[in-house]
Structure 1
Amino acid sequence: MMGDLTLVQLFVVILVPLVLAVTVHEVAHCWMAKLFGDNTAEQQGRYTLNPLMHIDLLGTIVVPGILLYFTGFIIGWAKPVPIDSRNFKKPKEAMMLVALAGPFSNILMAFGWAFLGRFAVEISQIEFVADPLNLWSRAGIHFNLILALINLLPIPPLDGSRVISGLLPDYWAWRYNQLERFGLIIMVILLLTGMLNILFDYPIYYLEQWFVGLAGR
């Protein structure tokens, strides 16, 4: 079905779920940080669903779009969420949960897109409404699963690394976090060598099929 779309239609199908996936992911970090007592993100206007406050043109749109077209994978970034761990009573535990909030929100969104797909199936006789909803459902499931799984990789500054850092003794956590300057390079190497495909092709495929099954398709 995607192959029948014009370039403009394909752009809209990709853009809407992708922007939502990134935006809600970032807001989830802000919400969890606020829950633990840090209002830094809210004070800087980041505790909002307005995508313009989170999107980095190069990292959120251009780079992911190019990589998606050529490789089928998304590597990108939004504007970093400002968090001051000094406001947390238990910084390590709080930072771990703040980090996990992002990928967890993507999993929840995958469920949401699946239920939208089920609704599309129920109104399938109204093709001009059902067809776009079906496309958005598939794209939303796909993008959110990719973002959730990739962000759980233990490579600084990805969310998974914040969990590992929280489990390590302070000195080793500090040494581990020094890898952050090389994080993007490591991810590009994994992508170009095909390691990302080896790691994620089957998990994403089977998870996507499961979520599509929830949609009744």
Structure 2
Amino acid sequence: MLGYSALDILNLALSLALVIFSAMVHEVAHGWVAYRLGDATAKRAGRLTLNPARHLDPFGSVVLPLLMAVAGWPVFAYAKPVPYNPNNLRNPRTDEVLVALAGPASNLLQALAGAAVYQLVLSRLLADGGSLVVGGASFWVLRALALYVYVNLVLMFFNLIPLPPLDGSKLVMPLLHGSARERYYHIQSYSLPILVAVLYLVPMVVHFDPLSLYLDATAGNLLELLLA
């Protein structure tokens, strides 16, 4: 790749792989919680699996994160949304919120697990008198763990933005009734491309990037805390 060193390319490939895996876990978490709360739609569709073929979206899982990584933006990706029928939930109004929060919660758990392993590996390395050599085995293990933590923190905080179709918007679901609720379901089916354009392309025009400021203040600061 023109202008990229071998280290840059390896970093990019590693980031994409971790984003795709973390996004799949995020979607499976939605389906699993929905299943536990009474809706088997995702299970019947074969989506309660980590098989990439069942989840990858050509644009959202590969092209979009690749473009963002090359552009130097916070890497975001999405897998095919896991289907579920809110009418099958035992308590639809409250259970929809739990289903929505399952995705960000899975990212938080992944970030905490990654940080714990990072600290364990780092402490063992220091105890053995080792040192980090760029390109060495220890370097790549710690690099992968740090990226895994960061990717999941970004996915968590991004999805908590209260705009459809992100998970944070589901927090308003208990407030919607009748036709307003139906319109919401209709809007969320095609609003993700619009949202991505607004959050990533508009800042290029107005030269103000609130998304990066938000992610730096949330995911960035929490990353420093977890890996300190």
Which residue number corresponds to residue 206 of structure 2? none
Is 1:185 aligned to 2:194, yes or no? yes
Partner of 2:48: 47
Secondary structure, in 3 states, of the residue corresponding to 1:157?
coil
2-side partners of 1:81 and 1:20: how far apart?
15
Q: Sequence identity of aligned pairs in percent?
A: 31
Q: Is 1:153 aligned to residue 161 of structure 2? A: yes
User: Gapped runs of 5+ residues in structure 1?
Assistant: none
CA separation in 2, counterparts of 1:111 and 1:59? Answer: 25
2:22–2:107 Cα contact (<8 Å) kept: yes
For residues 6 and 227 of structure 2, what CA distance do their matches in structure 1 show? 20
Q: 2:211 aligns with which of 178, 196, 212?
A: 196
Question: Helix, strand or coil: the match of 1:80?
Answer: coil
> Which residue pairs with 1:64 in the alignment?
65
- The answer to whether the 8 A contact 1:151-1:158 is kept is yes
Cα displacement (A) at 1:199: 2.5
Deviations 1:164-193 (A, max 9, x none): 123334444444555433443233223232
Q: How does 1:4-15 map to 2 (within 5 A)?
A: 5-15=6-16
> Runs in 1 of length 4+ with deviation above 3 angstroms?
126-129, 167-179
Cα RMSD, aligned residues only: 2.2
Mapped contact 1:156–1:183 kept (Cα < 8 A): yes
Distance in structure 2 (CA, Å) of the matches to 1:182 and 1:30:
21
Q: 1:191 to 1:44 in 2, by over 3 A?
A: same
The 2-side partners of 1:185 and 1:72 are apart by 17
TM-score (normalizing by structure 2): 0.83
> Displacement, 1:56?
0.9
Give, in angstroms, the shift of residue 16 of structure 1. 3.2
Deviation at 1:43, TM superposition (A): 1.1
Larger Rg: 2
Deviations 1:5-50 (A, max 9, x none): 5344223421332122111101111110110011111111100122
Matches for 1:1-217 after TM superposition, within 5 Å: 5-124=6-125, 125=130, 128-177=136-185, 179-180=187-188, 181-192=190-201, 193=203, 194-213=209-228
Query: Which deviations, in whole Å up to 9, do the C-alpha atoms of 1:113-142 show, x marking residues without a partner?
Result: 111211221342386442221001111111
DSSP 3-state at the match of 1:6 = helix
Q: Normalized against structure 1, the TM-score is what?
A: 0.86
Q: What CA distance in whole angstroms lies between the structure 1 residues aligned with 2:216 and 2:44?
A: 40
Residues of 1 paired with 2:23 and 2:170: CA distance? Answer: 18
Measured in 2, the distance between the counterparts of 1:196 and 1:65 equals 18
Letter in 2 for 1:152: L
Query: What is the CA–CA distance in structure 1 between the aligned matches of 2:218 and 2:12, rounded to whole Å?
Result: 26
The 2-side partners of 1:204 and 1:71 are apart by 16
Q: Structure 1 residue 4: deviation in Å?
A: 7.3
Tell whether the 8 Å contact from 1:13 to 1:135 is kept in structure 2 after alignment.
no
Q: C-alpha distance in 2, partners of 1:77/1:36?
A: 24
Structure 2 unaligned regions, length at least 5: 204-208
